[in-house]
Amino acid sequence: MIQRIQTVFMFLVAVAMVLVLIFPIWHQVNPSQTQIATLTAWALNTIDVESGGLVQSSSKVAIAILAFISMGLALFSIFQYKNRTRQMFVNMMNSLAMVINVGIIIWFSHNANEVINPQVNGAFVIGFWAIFAGMIMNLLANRFIRKDEMLVRSVDRIR
């Protein structure tokens, strides 16, 4: 049913993906402290510290697309409570989408780090860690769905 704990976890996965879309994912400052590179779900922006102007921007919409896919899969999975097997499969696909998103983020941030300051690693911020929170919530949702499925199967066996 919709009021079960796994529904709360899947809703929290969707909230975590919204956080990925809203908050920055990665920051890096160049060695002379004159430019800051910021990776969001939408773009990689290099900003001049003194003037506050945009020096360079490159689109990184793949992160946003995967976050939207994960959010959509989590919300779709909430309403699949009558078919727990399908619900677990959708959650598994959601985990795959989140892992691919983390891989793309690491790749983009590594490439940007090589350009702006190869000696020091950048800092991952709330947008990056929200994906991991979503992964944990997705794992917990799957665990409780599996627990419900096992309970239903054991009751059917007793009859």
Judge whether 67 and 101 are in contact, CB under 8 Å.
Answer: yes
Comparing CA positions, the residue from 22, 30, 31, 28 lying closest to residue 44 is 28
Can you give the pTM of this predicted structure? 0.90
Q: Mean pLDDT of all residues in the chain?
A: 92
pLDDT tens digits, one per residue of 104-149: 999 999 999 998 888 888 999 999 999 999 999 999 999 999 998 8
